[in-house]
Each structure stands twice: as C-alpha cells, then as structure tokens.
C-alpha cells in the first residue's frame, strides 16, 4: 500500500529537518552563550578597573594626609623637645617663640600650637606672646595625654569653634623629669585642609570620599555637607566593614544618601583615621550597560534573522522534498486506477524475489484480465470502460488480505497481484475473492446493461531458486490466465506445478 505523502515525507526527511533545526538552535544558543560570557567578562573587568582606580586614589590621598600629619606631629615634637631645654625659661619670650614654634606651625589651615600646663591652662601659643586665658582640661586631646592613654601622638575628634571653624587637634604629652604629667602640646588643624584636598579630586556622579575616625565620627566627606562633619556613623554596616581591616573593598548601600557604591578603603599610617572612597555602582557600569544593551539587542537581532532563515530553509526543504515525493509517487502510480504501474511492479517483484530467495518462502502472482472488454468499450464507450477499470481496481485492492500484498495495473485491461510469502492455495483463494468481489459489484448494479464486466484470473506460486527468474513467475501466471480464458472466462485457474514451475516454458 502506498504511504501518504505526509507519512512518507516524515520518514524520509524528518530527521534531516530536525537536524537542521537542532543545528540552527545549537548555533544560536552557542552564539548567545559566547556573548553572555563576553558581557560577563566585561562586567568583571569594569569592577576590577573601578577597584584599581579607587585603591590608587585612596593610597595617594592617604599618603598625603599621612605626610602632613607627620610633619605637624614633628612640629609638636620640636616644642616638646624645646621645653625640655633647661635654658628655655631664661630666654626672652620673642626668642622662645622662635625656638619652639617652627615655620610649619604657621602654614595655611594649621591653627595654633599651644602648650597646656598640667591643669589644662594655655601657657604658650604659637600665634601670640600673650595667650588669652583659656582652659582645655575637659578636652579629649588633654585628658588622653593626662591619663597617658595615647601612647604618643593623639588625634582628637572634630569640633566646631564659636566662630564656625571646624577643627581637629593633635596632642603630645609633656612630662616632668620624674615622669609625672606636666601638660600637653596641642596643635589644631582646620578641617578646611581636608576639604581642599578632597576638592582636588574630581569625583564622578554618585561617588563619595570620607575620612572617618576610628570612633566612627566623620572628619571630612565629599561631596561636602556641613551636617556630615562630626556625625557618628559607628553603628553603620559600612563603618563596621572598614574599621577592622587595614585596607580592602566591598559593595554596600550608603545610609547617608541611599546610593549603592563600591567602597575602597585604607587606614592612614598609625593614625586612627580611615579614608574610604565610594564609587557609584551605577556610574561604574554605565558604559558597560550601554555596551551590554547594544550587544544584547544585536544578538537578539542576529538570532531573529538566524531563526527566520532556518524557518525559510526548512519550509523550502519541506516543499522540495514533498514535490520530489509526489513526483516519485506519480512515477510509480497508474494515473487511472491509482494502483502501482508496471515499472514499479517490476521493481517490487525483484525485491520480493530476492527476499523470498534468502528466506526460501514461496511468492505468488495473480494475472487478472477483464473479459470481453473490447466489446464492452465498443458498446458503452471508453469513458464507461475507464470507470469499469477503476471499479475493478478497487475490488482488487480491497480484496488483498495483507499490507505487504501488492496490486498493479499491468497494462491495458490487465492487472497483476504479487503476494509475498503466499502458498498456491492462498493465492487461488485471493484470486477467488477478487473475482467474487467483481461479481458482487455487478450484483449491486442490479442488472444494468453497462454492469462491470467479469474477470479471469491466472495464479502461480513458487519458491524461488537458482535458475529461475522473477519473469518466470509472471509467465506461469499468464499461462494460467490463458487457461482461464479457454475455460470460459470469469474463473480462476492455477498454473500447472503450482509450487514447482519447472515445467513452465522459460521466458525468452
């Protein structure tokens, strides 16, 4: 039985079409995977670049602050050392000023250096020979030195003067020869110093730079906001991360302005200060985001084009394959009866014969001829004759018991049936069934004068063996058909020597 176009197409071309779709899909997925990998690499590169730039910036500014504080600390040390000189009290106040306070103490943004006695009273001031009476006994820079808590140089918390100046102070302890507390040398430093330093850095949108004491109080912050100075951020997660390590980086959202940043921080020398630079995550990935969007959009476009091409290609392949299949069916089919044609019958017979040869099973053939068809045509015309041939073809086809049985139009008003693996008896039975089916058709036509004519059937069956040809089987069936015609038509005749046709005259 011929397969439907769809079935045959599926069987013959299904795999290659699926293969085409699968390879197209694999190529698309591969392309996407490569691009995702490249975009992800780019993302990491941006983070690395930002981290490196932040670390360099922090290191440079921290070194600057460290150096300035160290110089200022040395100025204080000079005062401490000078006060130890036995003759210092004997020289004139003007001379003492020059000896104790070097020029560094008059540098811009540095406040006064003053000397406190053991009760916190100002006894010497770098800016004046007659210091105003003031007491610093309750200030942290005095108390720390009084109780010996600093271990040397102390850097105070920031505070604001009544004049609106923001200051911090560094102090050193003065001791008597017996080691008891003699007072403290204190130098003040305007926070404007840090502000100027920070303003030299061109921060990007959303970036921040913060100088914070180890107790959590903010010394300076850029972008500058007056309220931030002195604010204690000790409880914030960001401070908790910077206070414990000498340097590092992390990502977090600021409590001060709600911006997510990549923070890079570093402690400043031996001072209780940390410089923390925050680069806005939005800004870090801004150019990467544009690149990722463009690349992603182009990839999607390419994938779309790819998919469209695959769809077109698959459709074209399908159409071509269907056309080829229809052509092959047409080449193997008889146009009038839709049975196989003789060419196809010959091919199938050769295949069946070869198969039967290997399995040593019998193959049977039926030759069928319409009786007195010339007269029928003459009586009712060729169109009616064609209809009769179609009806007989239907009877033949529907009488075949197995899907492996094959019916073909042999030529003119003759048909052939091939029954693989069928004995002579079975073939005769099939022949009888076909003949009866044609007769039944006539009965259904209720005695119409153009009722379908009868048929005669010749049957042969043989187990193929060396020396026999497929055409010998056809010939034997044809001989039996002649016998049926001689016996009066409308009957089935079996070839002599049904199973062994050695007596059949050999085909030329």
Q: How far is the CB of 369 from ligand GH3 (least distance, A)?
A: 5
Q: Which is nearer to ligand GH3, 32 or 384 (CB)?
A: 384
- Give the C-alpha separation, 162 to 427, whole Å: 126
Stretch that binds ligand GH3, among 255-263, 383-391, 418-426, 464-472 (CB under 6 A): 383-391
Applying CB under 6 A, does 412 fall inside the site for ligand GH3? yes
Q: Considering only CA atoms, which of 212, 187, 167, 231 is closest in space to residue 69?
A: 187
Applying CB under 6 A, does 372 fall inside the site for ligand GH3? yes
Cα dist from 341 to 181, 345, 410, whole Å:
126, 6, 7
Q: Which is nearer to ligand GH3, 77 or 372 (CB)?
A: 372
Cα dist from 293 to 172, 173, 289, 296, whole Å:
58, 62, 6, 5
Q: How far is the CB of 343 from ligand GH3 (least distance, A)?
A: 17
Residues 406-425 binding Mg ion (CB under 5 A) are 414
Stretch that binds Mg ion, among 216-224, 311-319, 369-377, 466-474 (CB under 5 A): 369-377
Q: Which residue is nearest to ligand GH3 (CB)?
A: 385
Contact 496, 503 (CB under 8 A): yes
Stretch that binds ligand GH3, among 89-97, 120-128, 172-180, 380-388 (CB under 6 A): 380-388
Return the sign of the alpha-carbon dihedral for residues 98, 103, 104, 110. positive
Q: Which is nearer to ligand GH3, 107 or 394 (CB)?
A: 394
Q: How far is the CB of 347 from ligand GH3 (least distance, A)?
A: 22
Applying CB under 6 A, does 382 fall inside the site for ligand GH3? yes
- Give the C-alpha separation, 390 to 393, whole Å: 5
What are the phi and psi torsion angles at 164 (to 5°)? 90, 10
Q: In sequence order, what are the residues at sequence separation of 6 or more whose Cβ sits closer than 8 angstroms to the Cβ of residue 227?
A: none
Applying CB under 6 A, does 248 fall inside the site for ligand GH3? no
Q: Considering only CA atoms, which of 259, 295, 305 is closest in space to residue 278?
A: 259
- Give the C-alpha separation, 229 to 212, whole Å: 10
Q: Which is nearer to ligand GH3, 292 or 455 (CB)?
A: 455
Q: How far is the CB of 413 from ligand GH3 (least distance, A)?
A: 4
Task: By CB under 5 A, name the one of 369, 405, 478, 493 that touches Mg ion.
Answer: 369
Q: Considering only CA atoms, which of 113, 111, 110 is closest in space to residue 76?
A: 113
Task: By CB under 5 A, name the one of 373, 376, 410, 415 that touches Mg ion.
Answer: 373
Applying CB under 6 A, does 386 fall inside the site for ligand GH3? yes
Question: How many degrees, rounded to 5, is the angle at CA 334 between CA 330 and CA 337?
Answer: 125
Left, alpha or beta for 216 (phi > 0: left; psi -120 to 50: alpha)?
left
Task: By CB under 6 A, name the one of 186, 370, 416, 480 that touches ligand GH3.
Answer: 370
Contact 142, 186 (CB under 8 A): yes
Task: By CB under 6 A, name the one of 485, 497, 499, 507 that touches ligand GH3.
Answer: 485
- Let me know how many helices (H) and strands (E) the chain has, helices first: 12, 16
Task: By CB under 6 A, name the one of 120, 158, 385, 470 that touches ligand GH3.
Answer: 385
Instruction: Return the one option of ligand GH3, Mg ion, none that residue 374 interacts with (CB less than 5 to 8 A, by type).
Output: ligand GH3
Q: How far is the CB of 2 from ligand GH3 (least distance, A)?
A: 20
The tokens describing 326, both together, are 């229809």
Q: How far is the CB of 438 from Mg ion (least distance, A)?
A: 13
The tokens describing 411, both together, are 């030529």
Q: Which is nearer to Mg ion, 355 or 414 (CB)?
A: 414
Q: How far is the CB of 371 from Mg ion (least distance, A)?
A: 6
Task: By CB under 6 A, name the one of 68, 145, 150, 377 that touches ligand GH3.
Answer: 377
Q: How far is the CB of 427 from ligand GH3 (least distance, A)?
A: 21
Burial class (CB in 10 A: 0-12, 13-18, 19+), 7: exposed
Contact 454, 392 (CB under 8 A): no
- Site residues for ligand GH3 per CB under 6 A: 369-375, 377, 382, 385-386, 389, 412-413, 485, 489
- Site residues for Mg ion per CB under 5 A: 369-370, 373, 414
């Amino acid at each position: 039985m011929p397969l439907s176009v769809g079935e045959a197409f599926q069987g013959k071309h299904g795999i290659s079409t699926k293969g085409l779709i699968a390879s197209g899909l694999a190529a698309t997925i591969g392309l996407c995977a490569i691009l995702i990998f490249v975009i992800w690499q780019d993302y990491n590169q941006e983070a690395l670049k930002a981290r490196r730039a932040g670390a360099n910036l922090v290191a440079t500014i921290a070194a600057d602050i460290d150096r300035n504080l160290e110089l200022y600390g040395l100025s204080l040390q000079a005062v401490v050392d000078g006060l130890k000189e036995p003759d210092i009290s004997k020289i004139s106040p003007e001379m003492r000023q020059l000896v104790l306070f070097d020029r560094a103490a008059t540098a811009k943004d540095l406040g006064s250096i003053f000397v406190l006695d053991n009760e916190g009273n100002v006894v010497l001031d770098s800016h004046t020979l007659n210091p105003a009476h003031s007491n610093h006994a309750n200030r942290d820079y005095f108390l720390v030195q009084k109780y010996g808590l600093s271990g040397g140089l102390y850097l105070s918390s920031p505070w604001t003067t009544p004049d609106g100046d923001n200051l911090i102070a560094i102090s050193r302890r003065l001791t008597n020869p017996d080691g008891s507390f003699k007072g403290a040398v204190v130098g003040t430093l305007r926070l404007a110093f840090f502000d100027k330093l920070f303003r030299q850095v061109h921060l990007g949108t959303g970036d921040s730079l913060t100088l914070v004491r180890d107790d959590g109080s903010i010394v300076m912050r850029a972008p500058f906001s007056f309220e931030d100075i002195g604010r204690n951020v000790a409880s914030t997660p960001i401070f908790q991360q910077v206070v414990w390590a000498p340097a590092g980086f992390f990502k977090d959202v600021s409590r001060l302005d709600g911006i997510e940043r990549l923070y890079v921080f570093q402690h400043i020398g031996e001072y209780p200060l940390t410089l923390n630079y925050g680069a806005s995550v939005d800004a870090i990935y801004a150019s990467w985001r544009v690149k990722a969007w463009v690349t992603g959009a182009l990839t999607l476009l390419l994938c779309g084009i790819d998919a469209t091409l695959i769809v077109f290609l698959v459709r074209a392949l399908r159409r071509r394959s269907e056309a080829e299949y229809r052509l092959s069916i047409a080449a193997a089919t008889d146009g009038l009866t839709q049975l196989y044609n003789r060419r196809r019958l010959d091919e199938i017979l050769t295949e069946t014969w070869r198969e039967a040869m290997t399995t040593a099973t019998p193959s049977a053939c039926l030759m069928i001829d319409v009786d007195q068809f010339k007269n029928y045509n003459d009586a009712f015309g060729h169109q009616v004759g064609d209809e009769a041939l179609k009806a007989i073809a239907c009877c033949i086809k529907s009488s075949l018991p197995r899907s492996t049985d094959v019916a073909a139009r042999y030529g003119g008003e003759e048909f052939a049936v091939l029954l693989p693996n069928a004995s002579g008896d079975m073939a005769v039975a099939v022949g009888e069934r076909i003949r009866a089916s044609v007769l039944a058709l006539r009965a259904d036509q209720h005695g119409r004068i153009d009722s379908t004519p009868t048929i005669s059937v010749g049957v042969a069956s043989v187990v193929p063996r060396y020396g026999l040809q497929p055409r010998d089987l056809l010939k034997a069936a044809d001989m039996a058909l002649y016998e049926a015609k001689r016996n009066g038509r409308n009957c089935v005749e079996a070839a002599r020597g049904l199973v062994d046709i050695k007596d059949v005259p050999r085909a030329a």
